[in-house]
Amino acid sequence: MKPVESSKQTILIVEDEPQLANLLRDYLEKSEYRTRIIHNGLQAVSAVRDFAPDLVLLDLMLPGKDGVSVCREVREFSKVPIIMATARVEEIDRLLGLEIGADDYICKPYSPREVVARVKAVLRRSTDHPSDAPTGLVLDESRFLAEWKGKNMDLTAVEFKLLKILARDPGRIYSRSQLMDRIYDDHRIVSDRTIDSHIKKLRKKIFSVVEDEELIHSVYGVGYKFELKPPGEGEGSQTVAIHP
Ligand code: CA
């Protein structure tokens, strides 16, 4: 889901103690972050997909699914910074050994101020090193995985192929029949409308992760093309990386 408000960063709080979760929310919102709260481990992974948070505060002990499993599952599709909270300092060594991919660990009981400081530090670290993070579109054919700045678009195979054809040659205009030729072995079974409806769904999915620009443009009466915002506009140039 696309955040509707300003440029505030969103923190997803996964914490089963409601009072603690609310306290964290209050402190984070005072520091100009937007927050979402999930109390159950079972909903945590889909919440990361739906809210596309800028950072996840993840408690280790959760009902439904523990923090380690949540962290592992999130890492399968997202590089979002994760701060994991544990009740025992000895746990941290064990968690580090598991290499689950969390960015930082914090020990309970903590002060909300300390949590806010860690959140700021981790976010700073992740934005200070833009070279570590994808700066645009990444397409991985082996897994049909399409990511924008690390956020998975969740495409179907056909949507992935369409995006790949268009993105391989930014600015080039493809007609509907050219797209059909490249996607279907026998395109007598599909019509122009099929392409239009796939493009429509694809754009909707792109819209859910790409905040402020259109990647696929319709060219009236002709077809479609892929284009990124030209360098110089916004926060720097964006790239396309296609892996076979
Ligand atoms: Ca807990």
Q: Rounded to the nearest whole angstrom, what is the distance from the C-alpha of residue 76 to the centroid of ligand 1?
A: 23
Q: Rounded to the nearest whole angstrom, what is the distance from the C-alpha of residue 73 to the centroid of ligand 1?
A: 18
Q: What is the 3-state secondary structure (H, E, C) of the chain?
A: CCCCCCCCCEEEEECCCHHHHHHHHHHHHHCCCEEEEECCHHHHHHHHHHHCCCEEEEECCCCCCCHHHHHHHHHCCCCCCEEEEECCHHHHHHHHHHCCCCCEEEECCCCHHHHHHHHHHHHHHHHHCHHHCCCCEEEEHHHCEEEECCEECCCCHHHHHHHHHHHHCCCCCEEHHHHHHHHCCCHHHCCHHHHHHHHHHHHHHHHHHCCCCCCEEEECCCEEEECCCCCCCCCCCCCEEEEC
Predicted model pTM = 0.53
The more confident residue out of 22 and 141 is 22
Which residue segments constitute the domains of the chain, with CATH numbers given?
A: 7-127 (3.40.50.2300), 137-243 (1.10.10.10)
CA diameter of the chain: 65
Structure tokens at 233: 């506009």
Q: Rounded to the nearest whole angstrom, what is the distance from the C-alpha of residue 3 to the centroid of ligand 1?
A: 27
Q: Rounded to the nearest whole angstrom, what is the distance from the C-alpha of residue 68 to the centroid of ligand 1?
A: 12
pLDDT, tens only, 96-113: 777 788 888 899 999 999
Kindly report the backbone phi and psi dihedral angles of residue 98, in degrees, each rounded to the nearest multiple of 5, phi listed first. Answer: -75, -15
Q: Give residue 243's pLDDT.
A: 75
Q: Rounded to the nearest whole angstrom, what is the distance from the C-alpha of residue 86 to the centroid of ligand 1?
A: 8
Q: Rounded to the nearest whole angstrom, what is the distance from the C-alpha of residue 16 to the centroid of ligand 1?
A: 5
Q: Give residue 1's pLDDT.
A: 47
pLDDT, tens only, 174-184: 888 888 888 87
Q: Rounded to the nearest whole angstrom, what is the distance from the C-alpha of residue 187 to the centroid of ligand 1?
A: 54
Q: Rounded to the nearest whole angstrom, what is the distance from the C-alpha of residue 22 to the centroid of ligand 1?
A: 14
Q: Rounded to the nearest whole angstrom, what is the distance from the C-alpha of residue 43 to the centroid of ligand 1?
A: 14
Q: Rounded to the nearest whole angstrom, what is the distance from the C-alpha of residue 75 to the centroid of ligand 1?
A: 21
Q: Rounded to the nearest whole angstrom, what is the distance from the C-alpha of residue 19 to the centroid of ligand 1?
A: 11
Q: Give residue 187's pLDDT.
A: 56
pLDDT, tens only, 46-100: 999 988 899 999 999 999 999 999 999 999 888 899 999 998 777 887 887 777 8
